[in-house]
Structure 1
């Protein structure tokens, strides 16, 4: 540890985080090194670390590495103590040409947070969104394991006994898994034993994924009902976008910043007389994937989107360029629904009203000129159409 005394009006702190220890360094507003020390990554260590920094003067800003991993606990503690925290990216190899150590990295973090006031504000962890993130990761691993097991089944059938292969290979996946799970192989039939075990694993993973989908739907509807009721935006994609925005979406200053975070901000790709843009390859790839899924569904099912696509095709735009524009539009829509959500109208009274008047779904659909499926989806809140819900309610009240 080194320590210098100085008469300063404010100091900057930089923290190099590790699993079991954190190393903090303090500099003044002129960049002079005031002191550094290592502390355990525990509750008591956080208190001692903050006291060490405050001994030099009030904290202007603190820069912490790994705010979403090893530095999450310290970041949360600093927030409770009203310390302004910024996330500092670990130094690149080129920046480390003068060497690397915990004190060097901590001082580098302190200098970075002192030099720039536009460093990112860390995500809040530990809230409801963090619960969604954890459940989403569990679901993602189950989906991955499901795909792996299904591929193993197909691979085993290719090299299986001809009678076994000819019997099961033509079946569709659902029937294949169901029949293989009901096999009763003998001890001298290892191929059947392997296929049965894989089929049972797949069935268990299907149940796990279904349960995770239901839990995500409940959690997302409770946190952001306006988001999950947007057109062609399911609970899984909504959950991912909520996780990307974080518990404190106010840290994202604009729609453009959210688009960059999701990797859908346009990047100039012009050359000579050609003026064009391409998609950003950076950002959160899971959020980008969620926006891509919404984009594909809307291009397939949404009438307004299909009209827009045809219009752009007539202008000579490629599919990639059209999707770039649509992703940015969807990103803007999602940002508004997360940061400034509209009030979601209550539709819980629609089904009781219809049943009180002894009206069937078919009668309502014929009167309103729509389908029974849409009426049922509106009643169950599986689909959102505020104008239709208003018209439906007026009809029921007048019936």
Structure 2
């Protein structure tokens, strides 16, 4: 009877055009071989066949599963191979052992063999990966639009007085509309014509970027309602913040071992910062800073309009906490809430019956808003599922049935 093939472990050093793989025996760590393969679908298949030719593969450690190794990681997972994220070797190790593709590949295999607590890679094959791509495009468009507006203002500072006088008292919206509609003389006619031409191009670029951002946000909203409706429906979490938090967690949030690990990933896990007689904590400055900024925006929104958060802030203020410490505590609390929304999402209460019910009763939005002491926009967003307020939704439904 033939014996079962020996178990092997592989490590991969990833690059843009090639991947270098090394295979070691899982039982003894003996080096079995290494080779280089191109970063193509055929190359991924050859790489997997090279590994399995040495034995039964248990785990493949890949350096950079969210960058150069993303394609290989997806290919191996689709083939049923366990993949682990391997961190880059420390500089001290590289000084002792040198650096080359085979050395780095064997180091990746050794990290897996050592049984280190290696993080599970992001799946990057679902709605969240699509959200990541759109969110990246939106963020760059927002930065470009802000730069365009700054360039317009800077150019107006040195523009001829005739141009400055025409736009001096306009609002930003009126200014952009006026500049985009200008029809200056040919740019080669002089300084004034060239300046107006430049301003027109900048204003039209601003308008185009605004349309692009709006289109991207609409696509993001559609994907978010499919991928994480409970997260998007939570108070204070909008399209952009929800997208960033989902991107940070990945398509497989179950890879996060605890809510504490997610808080650390978002840079919202408190660490000791005590000295002498002072005992205090501060936020960890590591983690994903974009996710940390998303938590900060959620905190600011809730501090301004959420009654529970306002009460909490008032209580902590009376205890002697300053604003920074209160925000730190709120970030940690929100990180815990987001983690549970990602890993154990609760169904979002349905509200699509509210608008037909109101129309059947011939009740206007204004009348409903007046009854509950709020704005018509609040009632409209609740009816369309754009914002979540379970208490108001239940009271609104009961009132409509009784009307």
Normalising by structure 1, report the TM-score: 0.94
Query: 1:140 maps to what in 2?
Result: 139
Q: CA deviation at 1:180?
A: 1.0
Query: 1:157 maps to what in 2?
Result: 156
Do the aligned partners of 1:61 and 1:114 also contact (CA within 8 Å) in 2?
no
| Alpha-carbon separation, structure 2, partners of 1:14 and 1:22 | 10
Normalising by structure 2, report the TM-score: 0.93
State how 1:147-296 maps to structure 2 within 5 Å: 147-187=146-186, 188=189, 189-296=193-300
Query: 1:101 maps to what in 2?
Result: 100
Q: Match for 2:350 among 339, 346, 349?
A: 346
Deviations 1:144-177 (A, max 9, x none): 1101111111111111112322332443221111
Q: CA deviation at 1:305?
A: 1.1
Q: Match for 2:88 among 87, 90, 94?
A: 90
Q: Match for 1:21 among 12, 18, 21?
A: 18
Q: Match for 2:68 among 57, 67, 70?
A: 70
Deviations 1:206-225 (A, max 9, x none): 11111111221121112111
1:333 aligns with 2:337: yes
Deviations 1:286-310 (A, max 9, x none): 1111111111111122222122112
Do the aligned partners of 1:10 and 1:59 also contact (CA within 8 Å) in 2?
yes
| Alpha-carbon separation, structure 2, partners of 1:44 and 1:365 | 62
State how 1:364-379 maps to structure 2 within 5 Å: 364-379=368-383
Q: CA deviation at 1:342?
A: 0.9
- Does 384-393 or 230-239 show the bigger shift? 384-393
| Alpha-carbon separation, structure 1, partners of 2:401 and 2:301 | 35
Query: 2:56 maps to what in 1?
Result: 58
| Alpha-carbon separation, structure 2, partners of 1:367 and 1:10 | 70
Q: Match for 2:301 among 293, 297, 303?
A: 297
Partner secondary structure for residue 46 of structure 1: helix
Consecutive unaligned residues of structure 1, counting only runs of 5 or more, are 1-6
| Alpha-carbon separation, structure 2, partners of 1:343 and 1:88 | 36
1:12 aligns with 2:9: yes
Consecutive unaligned residues of structure 2, counting only runs of 5 or more, are none
| Alpha-carbon separation, structure 2, partners of 1:195 and 1:156 | 8
State how 1:116-135 maps to structure 2 within 5 Å: 116-135=115-134
| Alpha-carbon separation, structure 1, partners of 2:256 and 2:125 | 19
| Alpha-carbon separation, structure 2, partners of 1:149 and 1:126 | 34
Q: CA deviation at 1:340?
A: 0.8
Q: CA deviation at 1:256?
A: 0.3
Q: CA deviation at 1:78?
A: 1.3
Query: 1:3 maps to what in 2?
Result: none
Q: CA deviation at 1:49?
A: 1.6
| Alpha-carbon separation, structure 1, partners of 2:67 and 2:372 | 53
| Alpha-carbon separation, structure 2, partners of 1:364 and 1:218 | 28
| Alpha-carbon separation, structure 1, partners of 2:21 and 2:332 | 40
| Alpha-carbon separation, structure 1, partners of 2:198 and 2:204 | 10
Deviations 1:111-134 (A, max 9, x none): 111113410100011321111111
Partner secondary structure for residue 342 of structure 1: coil
Deviations 1:184-214 (A, max 9, x none): 1112211111111111111111111111112
Task: Kindly tell me the number of residue pairs found equivalent between the two proteins.
Answer: 393
- Does 75-84 or 368-377 show the bigger shift? 368-377
Partner secondary structure for residue 327 of structure 1: helix
| Alpha-carbon separation, structure 2, partners of 1:67 and 1:312 | 42
| Alpha-carbon separation, structure 1, partners of 2:301 and 2:171 | 24
Query: 1:395 maps to what in 2?
Result: 399
| Alpha-carbon separation, structure 1, partners of 2:218 and 2:79 | 38
Partner secondary structure for residue 156 of structure 2: helix
Q: CA deviation at 1:60?
A: 2.5
